[in-house]
């Protein structure tokens, strides 16, 4: 049997990380088993449809390296792959169920349903449709249809006994039938509901493994009632736990940690994000943490999916990202970091290549880069307490002497290259008898205003250029003299 998995998102906006992980696991399993990964767009809920959201799905999956074997834009033997294009398929199936007594026409109006819902709430009960229209005779139903009354078609769910099924992640599950609602299969506008179209499409497309979020655990018994009513084979279920920010909180749009695009815009690498996301809810059974997509395919095993919520640890992701950045080819890093330099250094005519050499090992997430390098554009305000450093044996008084000594040395340098700056200053320090740290620490503070910088005094002086280095040195020296 060929394994066929599917990712079936609703085009309602950006790609949530939970949805992206669902797509990833479906893709990995299909490829591991030599099967097919199908993309289907489930747009039956037109009220929630967002223009352009389908393209977001396409672009995100392609960006992450998940190429589908069948789908709306590539075709296949089981199309169309957009549910709104399949509208005419569903009603005949619903009518088959009506003929079998597994479903029925419902003519209750919204007002009538609202009234019954309010009455149930007043009694402290959870509202469930009361099968009112199930009692209509065939003649009464036909008369209403002939009169053109609006209707929906509902599932005729059993009210006694249990419905059970087996799930790869959660094991054997059982649900009392008296908790099941007579869900709507066909809406008044003729469109199928998500739940009904889902079952029909999965069957017609030959889906063998349904991998989806655990929020569908309680709906699955109703899906199985449909499979059984049609006499169809039930697929293997693999319900995935929720991706959480921590034990109590889900990922949220407000916190900027819910969508794939949030992380890409912040400067996380897609490779790092996919690698880490694969491990949020699954483990390879050994100590490996870093995987290419091909390596994930080889390692993936649905039996190693966790049944506890997957905690999406931002610190762990950031660590992954930093490791990926460090391993990047330098020219690729330079290309990616340059726009982030430009945000704060545009027009300063700095040597971005040298700055990138200093920054690559320090970069964790690209959106942090501007704050780390903006001191090169404008000297920040700083407290002279930064000159205090026990290890370097410096303080503001020592700094005054050191800057007084090093300024004419810097002024005398004609070839303002990093090597010349280094050799000239180091020779002057040796001649003066001072300790290296007693000069270089104050110099770095004087021209950067920061306790921590990419590179030391020589690298910063080179990047700033001679004129800006000396200008900053003058300002800092005067500040020291006034306050020391």
Identify whether residues 322 and 354 lie together within a single domain. no
Q: What integer is the mean pLDDT of 309-314?
A: 93
36 catalytic residue (yes or no): no
Q: What integer is the mean pLDDT of 88-95?
A: 96
Identify whether residues 346 and 423 lie together within a single domain. no
Fill in the DSSP letter of residue 231: T
- Average pLDDT of the chain is 95
Does 52 map to a domain?
A: no
Look up tokens 């209707």; give the residue.
151
- Using CB atoms within 10 Å of the CB of residue 415, give its burial: 0 to 12 exposed, 13 to 18 middle, 19+ buried: exposed
Does 231 map to a domain?
A: yes
- At residue 446, φ and ψ (nearest 5 deg) are -65, -30
Identify whether residues 399 and 366 lie together within a single domain. no
Residue 256 has pLDDT above 70, yes or no: no
pLDDT for res 34: 98
Confidence of residue 463 (pLDDT cuts 50, 70, 90): very high
Identify whether residues 108 and 233 lie together within a single domain. yes
Confidence of residue 43 (pLDDT cuts 50, 70, 90): confident
Of these residues, 138, 144, 253, 316, which one is catalytic?
253
Identify whether residues 392 and 479 lie together within a single domain. yes
Question: Can you give the CATH number for the domain in which 119 is found?
Answer: 3.40.50.620
Question: Can you give the CATH number for the domain in which 320 is found?
Answer: 1.10.1160.10
Identify whether residues 292 and 435 lie together within a single domain. no
Does 472 map to a domain?
A: yes
Does 225 map to a domain?
A: yes
Residue 38 has pLDDT above 80, yes or no: yes
Identify whether residues 363 and 301 lie together within a single domain. no
Q: What total number of domains does the chain contain?
A: 4
Does 11 map to a domain?
A: no
Q: What percent of the chain has pLDDT over 70?
A: 98
Does 349 map to a domain?
A: yes
Identify whether residues 320 and 345 lie together within a single domain. no
> Which range among 252-256, 284-288, 391-395, 473-477 shows the weakest confidence by mean pLDDT?
252-256
Identify whether residues 233 and 153 lie together within a single domain. yes
Residue 56 has pLDDT above 90, yes or no: yes
Q: What integer is the mean pLDDT of 423-450?
A: 96
Q: Shortest CA distance to 167 belongs to which of 257, 226, 236?
A: 236
**Chain centroid to CA 57: how far?**
12
Does 335 map to a domain?
A: yes
> Do the Cβ atoms of 221 and 182 come closer than 8 Å?
no
> Do the Cβ atoms of 207 and 180 come closer than 8 Å?
no
In which domain, by residue range, is 215 found?
Answer: 85-240
Q: What integer is the mean pLDDT of 72-91?
A: 94
Question: DSSP 3-state assignment of 256?
Answer: coil
Residue 257 has pLDDT above 80, yes or no: no
Residue 474 has pLDDT above 90, yes or no: yes
> Do the Cβ atoms of 443 and 474 come closer than 8 Å?
no
Q: Shortest CA distance to 262 belongs to which of 222, 303, 317, 189?
A: 317
Fill in the DSSP letter of residue 387: G
Identify whether residues 180 and 207 lie together within a single domain. yes
Does 57 map to a domain?
A: no
Confidence of residue 49 (pLDDT cuts 50, 70, 90): low
Identify whether residues 448 and 464 lie together within a single domain. yes
Residue 255 has pLDDT above 80, yes or no: no
Residue 477 has pLDDT above 70, yes or no: yes
Point out the domain boundary residue: 185, 212, 240: 240
Kindly report the pTM of this predicted structure. 0.92
Identify whether residues 337 and 217 lie together within a single domain. no
Confidence of residue 51 (pLDDT cuts 50, 70, 90): confident
Question: Can you give the CATH number for the domain in which 454 is found?
Answer: 1.10.10.350
Q: What integer is the mean pLDDT of 53-63?
A: 94
Q: What integer is the mean pLDDT of 347-353?
A: 96
Q: What is the pLDDT of residues 104-139, one digit of tens each?
A: 999 999 999 999 999 999 999 889 999 999 999 999
Confidence of residue 11 (pLDDT cuts 50, 70, 90): confident
């Amino acid at each position: 049997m060929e394994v066929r998995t599917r990712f079936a998102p609703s085009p309602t906006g950006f790609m949530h990380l939970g949805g992206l992980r669902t797509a990833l696991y479906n893709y990995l399993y299909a490829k591991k088993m030599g099967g097919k990964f199908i993309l289907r767009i489930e747009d039956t809920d037109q009220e929630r449809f967002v223009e352009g959201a389908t393209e977001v799905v396409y672009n995100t999956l392609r960006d992450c390296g998940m190429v589908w074997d069948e789908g709306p834009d590539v075709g296949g033997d089981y199309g169309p792959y957009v549910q709104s294009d399949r509208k005419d398929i569903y009603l005949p199936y619903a009518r088959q169920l009506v003929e079998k007594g597994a479903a029925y026409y419902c003519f209750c109006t919204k007002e009538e349903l609202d009234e019954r819902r309010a009455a149930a709430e007043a009694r402290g009960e959870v509202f469930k449709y009361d099968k009112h229209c199930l009692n209509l005779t065939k003649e009464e139903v036909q008369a209403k249809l002939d009169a053109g009354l609006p209707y929906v078609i509902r599932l005729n769910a059993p009210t006694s006994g249990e419905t059970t099924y087996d799930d790869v992640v959660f094991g054997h599950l059982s649900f009392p039938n008296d908790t099941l609602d007579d869900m709507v299969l066909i809406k008044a506008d003729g469109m199928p509901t998500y739940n009904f179209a889902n079952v029909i499409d999965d069957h017609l497309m030959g889906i063998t493994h349904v991998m989806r979020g655990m929020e569908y655990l309680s709906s699955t018994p109703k899906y199985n009632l449909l499979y059984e009513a049609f006499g169809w084979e039930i697929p293997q279920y693999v319900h995935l736990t929720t991706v959480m920010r921590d034990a109590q909180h889900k990922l949220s749009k407000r916190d900027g940690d819910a969508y794939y695009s949030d992380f890409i815009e912040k400067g996380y690498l897609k490779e790092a994000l996919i690698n880490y996301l694969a491990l949020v809810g699954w483990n390879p059974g050994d100590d490996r943490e870093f995987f290419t997509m091909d390596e994930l395919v080889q390692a993936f095993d649905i039996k190693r999916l966790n049944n506890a919520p997957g905690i999406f640890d931002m610190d762990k992701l950031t660590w992954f990202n930093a490791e990926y950045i460090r391993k990047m080819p330098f020219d690729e890093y330079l290309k990616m970091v340059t726009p982030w330099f430009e945000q704060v250094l545009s027009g300063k005519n700095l040597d971005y290549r040298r700055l990138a050499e200093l920054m690559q090992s320090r970069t964790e997430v690209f959106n942090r880069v501007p704050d780390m390098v903006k001191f090169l554009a404008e000297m920040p305000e700083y407290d002279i307490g930064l000159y205090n450093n026990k290890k370097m044996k410096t303080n503001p008084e020592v700094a005054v002497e050191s800057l007084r000594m090093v300024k004419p040395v810097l002024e005398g340098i004609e070839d303002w290259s990093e090597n010349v700056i280094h050799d000239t200053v180091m020779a002057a320090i040796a001649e003066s008898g001072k300790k290296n740290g007693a000069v270089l620490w104050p110099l770095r503070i004087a021209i950067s205003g920061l306790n921590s910088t990419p590179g030391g005094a020589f690298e910063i002086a080179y990047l700033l250029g001679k004129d800006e280095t000396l200008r900053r040195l003058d300002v800092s020296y005067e500040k020291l003299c006034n306050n020391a």
